[in-house]
Amino acid sequence: MIEDKNQQRTPLSALGEFGLIEHLTQNFKIKQTSTIKGIGDDAAVLNFDNKRVVISTDLLVEGVHFDLSYAPLKHLGYKSVVVNLSDIYAMNAKATQITVSIAVSNRFPLEALEALYDGIETAASIYNVDVIGGDTTSSTSGLLISVTAIGEVEAEQEVYRSGAKPNDLLVVSGDLGAAYMGLQVLEREKEVYKVNPNNQPDLEPYTYIIERQLKPEARKDIPNLLSELGVKPSSMIDVSDGLSSEIIHICKQSDVGCDLYEEKIPLDPQVISTCEEFNIDSTTVALNGGEDYELLFTISQEDYPKIKANPNFTVIGYMKEAKEGLHLVTRADTRIPIKAQGWKNFTE
Ligand code: ADP
Ligand code: MG
């Protein structure tokens, strides 16, 4: 869609593996006191004193998780870091380091990897994490990116998916469904472009939802905010696969049920208008869309006064006994069971 055919193309073979690693990682700076040794030795060395260490990893595959015909490589680099940091924040932890591994085919010139690493560096700098290592190898077809994120948390502050109790309130940060609707717009424009490459799309009405798809942000601010408010969630998870599957994870692991109120689900006006345009139900999008990277958590009712005036949070339901089940309470006050939708990558 936005490919520039006149770009400079330096073949990766011109640098060799070590030259490439050196070139791509030359700008990374170490800022965390917990990083003793970063890139350049056989392994990185970290020191977390007596903190708990949390680790999470993700693998992104071209054609499965991203489509380079509309995802600029710089955004892709940024997003691959952010989606991992989101998992660290979901443990109520502070992210401190990442490693980045790539497998790349010779169809990519050096300039493409520079753009990818530009995005990685931007995210690392904004989220204040050190890039402390990785691996670089060739691939016979597409691009693969694996990021591992490391973080730290005081033992008494860590939050699992398993701590929700009946009567706890279910709370979500930000708004939902935007990344999915951004993807719908991008897919539509890709089809239009295939038919007529001279047709420049007007994406102005969709800026927020496209940004949520191509350049999502993780909620680094939420663990800090909760701690300032004196609230420790009883359970927490990040919204990567869609609200319904995250609620199911919390309920299963905590052995509780849940009532989710349709009218409470936070939606941006651009999501509502784009859903109308595409004739898609906005609740379905919030429940099953995914890639929101918001945090979904439960708190005890006692903590409600501490969060109720905060614009970052919306109470969307409450937890029940496991035997009551999991339900969406619709605007028409009917109760619909919440069902799993996961494993999208294998069924589509
Ligand atoms: P090894 O042969 O021990 O795997 P490498 O030559 O692959 O070592 O890596 C050398 C250094 O560069 C290591 O510190 C490694 O973590 C780092 N590194 C390799 N590839 C990447 C990458 N794609 N991004 C960031 N760091 C990397
Ligand atoms: Mg290696």
* Number of the ligand 1 atom closest to the C-alpha atom of 18: 6
* pTM across the whole model: 0.94
Q: What distance in angstroms lies between residue 80's CA and the mean position of ligand 1's atoms?
A: 18
- Among 36, 135, 145, 146, the mutation site with the greatest number of ligand 1 atoms within 8 A of its Cβ is 135
Cβ-based neighbours of 119, under 8 Å, separated by 6 or more = 73, 74, 75, 76, 77, 78, 79, 81
* pLDDT on residue 346: 46
Task: Give me 193's structure tokens.
Answer: 């472009």
Q: Taking the CB of residue 348, how many other CB atoms lie within 10 A of it?
A: 6
The residue whose C-alpha atom lies closest to atom 7 belonging to ligand 1 is 135
d(CA 79, CA 71): 10
* pLDDT on residue 281: 96
* pLDDT on residue 209: 98
* pLDDT on residue 337: 95
* pLDDT on residue 348: 40
Q: Which residues form the pocket of ligand 1, taking CB atoms under 6 Å from any ligand atom?
A: 21, 25, 39-42, 100-102, 131, 133-136
Q: What distance in angstroms lies between residue 345's CA and the mean position of ligand 2's atoms?
A: 28
* pLDDT on residue 193: 84
> What residues of the chain score a pLDDT lower than 50?
1-2, 342-348
* pLDDT on residue 4: 54
Q: Which residues are placed with Cβ below 5 angstroms of ligand 2, an ion?
A: 135
